[in-house]
Amino acid sequence: MHSHHSALGLATALRPVQPVTLIRPHAARRAARFFVEKFPGTAMYAVKANPSPDLLKVLWDSGVTHYDVASIAEVRLLSETLPEARLCFMHPVKAEEAIAEAYFEHSVRTFSLDTMDELEKIVRATKGASDLNLCVRLRVSSDHSKLSLASKFGAEPGETKALLFAARQAADALGICFHVGSQAMTPAAYAEAMERVRAAIVEAAVTVDIVDVGGGFPSTYPGMEPPPLETYFEVIHKAFESLPISYSAELWCEPGRALCAEYASVLVRVEKRRGNELYINDGAYGALFDAAHVGWRFPVKLVREEISDAKDVAFSFYGPTCDDLDHMAGPFLLPADVAAGDYIEIGMLGAYGCAMRTGFNGFGSDMKVEMTDEPMATLYGGAEEQAVPSNVVTL
């Protein structure tokens, strides 16, 4: 893998024709250490956010030992990449064959569920194993989050008493988990969800060994500047300490976006300008799925040797495919004189952007270059340690 200090140096040296993923291992390392050192429990990386083996190794080397996997493919990937990692199969609906392979071939012992049917499936697939950690997922509100996860999974209040009681009988350790939605903009999301946990425990009168507050920890984007993450941790810890749970109960969380958003950005080239519409060489079927389909605004900057003194104006993007849906409305603020042939860096794409690429219409690129500068935005303070790449070619 090549290494360079900045997007400008890369664009000047290589003039790439295809989009280039710019990765910053030092940013992921810093985020991982932040969670490992400051979250008052166990931070478990949600692999779906970015399953890159290189990133997984960075997180492991930074102290992340638990991984939230959602499919048998993710189980296999982690078993191959990090054979000593502890895997937790947290998708509430799993194929029975996937459960069996995860348990018997990959030593997975933690499974989530939200129905009696899923509980029976887990017990059956593991042949009545006595060493299971079973986490019952509760449905909680996503009102405080930018992307809802409130409709697909989670046991309703009228279902939890019997489900918790039955899971307690089958589990070595019983857990309760929830997910407040992606990009929770206030710690109140977790405080309210923990009240739902309290009510479920009191109603079922069971001993709970694990409380997993799920993901939803935010990153910073234009127009979405959340409070400090320490505030979230304080609210969660206070709520956890007040729950009627086992004295030895464990507190878990499942950060995805918060650990990897700053890890990657994408350098794109403008192929055409039509008014305030820029046609770029990546888009909705590449790293910009969220920009197209949920209107996510990512930080952008013009990458040009000559500094522009033109004022910033609002642009929208079209991606490279022939599809009208390949459109990112933005607005993305860039200097008014941006033109075909210019390069743009689009930041904070380490979460979901890199993971959701397709090869639709024959467009896409696997080119990656390691950067040693800072990401375009961060919740983890200024420059700390810079990456010291080994076995790389410096341009």
Catalytic residues: 322
Structure tokens at 288: 């910009």
Distance CA 84, CA 56 (A): 12
Give CA–CA dist 97/101, Å, rounded: 6
State the number of CA atoms in the 13 A half-sphere of 166 facing the CB: 17
Q: Which residues contact 40 (CB under 8 A, 6 or more apart)?
A: 233, 236, 237, 240, 251
Characterise 200 by phi-psi region: left (phi > 0), alpha (psi -120 to 50), beta (else): alpha
Which residue carries 């609210």 as its tokens? 235
- Please provide residue 87's backbone torsions phi and psi, each rounded to the nearest 5 degrees: -105, 135
